[in-house]
Amino acid sequence: MSTSNKPRVLLVDDEDHVRTLMKVVVSALGFDVVAEASNGQRALSMFHDTQPDITILDMNMPITTGDEVLQGIMSTNPQALVIMLTSVVDVQSVERCLDLGAANYIRKDTPIAEMKTCLLETWNAHTTAHEETHEHAV
Amino acid sequence: MNTRYDLQTMLEELDEDIAGFDRTKKLSQDDIQRRIQAKRAKPQPHANNTQLRVDSPFTHDQESP
């Protein structure tokens, strides 16, 4: 995490208006958007460059799809916190992303207040789990 | 025999259809959260499985005459 203690966020969505909306949402939670990507390939390169605390990831994108990006991220950093934000909500896609290591899966039509709660709870659960793992290691 | 075979085939096809339908079913946000909770609640595989195997009573059999 950065010295400002604000969780650093990478936003990945091919739709500009979704990224704009999510920027407002995560900023309201006190998170810091450090990078944005409009396709999967760019998302992977930005993830490696910025090492964000949270990646918010769309599923349907050109070049590389969200689940492929998720797989790429988790293979290089299994501790990465990735939250799917998508309209693709069939059982197969949800299960695949959860199995690949997504920390949460949020429908795009979720009301903003619920979305904020979901993001915050996922971040808190992740940091708590990370602290516990660190304590056990010490 | 043919009737029995056909019935079995039909049942298998029906099972496949149901499974296929389940896989394409759209989930609500509540459904998704329930699935996530269920996954988190599942016990993780023991990290020291190898050690447990070494300490199992079966390994001591090799030492006995």
Cα A42 to the chain's mean position, in Å? 15
* Alpha-carbon gap, residue A22 to A11, rounded angstroms: 8
Q: pLDDT tens for residues A38-59?
A: 999 999 999 999 999 999 999 9
- A:70-129 residues touching chain B, CB 8 A cutoff: 89-92, 94-95, 98, 104-107, 110, 114, 118
- Check A107 against B32: CB less than 8 A apart: yes
Count of domains forming chain A? 1
- Check A105 against B32: CB less than 8 A apart: yes
Identify which of A89, A92, A107 has the shortest CB distance to residue B23. A92
Task: Please give the structure tokens belonging to residue A61.
Answer: 């994108």
Q: pLDDT tens for residues A58-116?
A: 999 988 999 999 999 999 999 999 999 999 999 999 999 999 999 999 999 999 999 99
Residue B53 pLDDT > 50: no
Q: pLDDT tens for residues B2-45?
A: 666 678 887 777 777 776 666 678 999 999 999 999 988 876 55
Residues of A within 8 A of B29 (CB-CB) are 106-107, 110, 114
pLDDT at B21: 62
Structural domain for A17, as ranges: 8-137
Q: Is residue A43 part of a domain?
A: yes
Q: Is residue A83 part of a domain?
A: yes
* Alpha-carbon gap, residue A55 to A95, rounded angstroms: 18
- Check A91 against B32: CB less than 8 A apart: no
Q: Is residue A2 part of a domain?
A: no
Q: Is residue A1 part of a domain?
A: no
* Alpha-carbon gap, residue A86 to B16, rounded angstroms: 27
pLDDT at B9: 80
To test the contact with chain B by mutation, choose from A84, A85, A90 the residue with the greatest count of B C-beta atoms within 10 A, namely A90
Output the domain CATH number for residue A54.
3.40.50.2300
Q: What is the ipTM of this complex?
A: 0.83
